[in-house]
């Protein structure tokens, strides 16, 4: 079953872009694709629990759920983050810990919005993860944003 947010045409477009480092699970069976996407969403949630987000990124698919303090082991600009309700994580660019990105779809009133959620720092240092979130993109902007196939 295709994601209602993505649909068959978008899944086919993603399958054409998929390669060793850019992963959508699009070429798998629907069950395997859902399992893959659930797994990468869980991975992202784990990173988000130990991350911080700049205020300018706060309106996208990621939200702050707690302010950071010394007890959390996070600095003053840190906090605990999570995904907003209804967000579909459907892909990952695996840059081996050097700016990995996750791809999100957020349902909209008329059309969904697409986002890139990137881990900017913290993966190798053991510190809080610094996240950046792209501006909302339509489907064509999102495809143009992806690394080359």
Whether the CB-CB separation of 66 and 52 falls below 8 Å is answered with no
Q: Which residues contact 74 (CB under 8 A, 6 or more apart)?
A: 50, 52, 68, 80, 128
CB-facing half-sphere around the CA of 143: CA atoms within 13 A: 12
H helical segments located in 18-149: 30-48, 139-145
Query: Taking the model in full, what pTM does it have?
Result: 0.85
- Tell me the two tokens of residue 59: 């309106």
Can you give the pLDDT at residue 5? 63
Q: Which residue has the tokens 């992202």?
A: 44
Give the pair of three-digit tokens for residue 134: 């792209």
Per-residue pLDDT 10s for the chain (149 aa) are 445 568 889 999 999 999 889 999 887 788 889 999 999 999 999 989 888 887 666 678 998 886 655 454 444 455 689 999 999 999 999 887 677 899 999 987 788 999 999 988 765 666 788 889 999 999 999 999 998 76
By the 8 A CB rule, do 38 and 28 touch? Answer: no
């Amino acid at each position: 079953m295709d994601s209602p947010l993505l649909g068959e045409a978008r899944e086919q477009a993603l399958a054409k872009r998929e390669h060793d480092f850019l992963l959508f699970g699009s070429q798998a069976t629907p069950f395997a694709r859902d399992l893959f996407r659930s797994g990468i969403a869980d991975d992202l949630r784990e990173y988000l629990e130990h991350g911080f987000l700049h205020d300018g990124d706060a309106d996208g698919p990621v939200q702050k759920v707690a302010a950071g303090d010394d007890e959390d082991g996070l600095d003053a600009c840190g906090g605990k983050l999570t995904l907003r309700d209804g967000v579909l994580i459907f892909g990952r660019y695996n840059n081996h810990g050097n700016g990995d990105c996750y791809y999100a779809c957020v349902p909209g009133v008329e059309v969904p919005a697409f986002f890139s959620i990137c881990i900017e720092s913290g993966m190798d240092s053991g510190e809080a993860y610094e996240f950046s979130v792209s501006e909302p993109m339509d489907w064509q902007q999102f495809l143009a944003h992806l690394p080359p196939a």
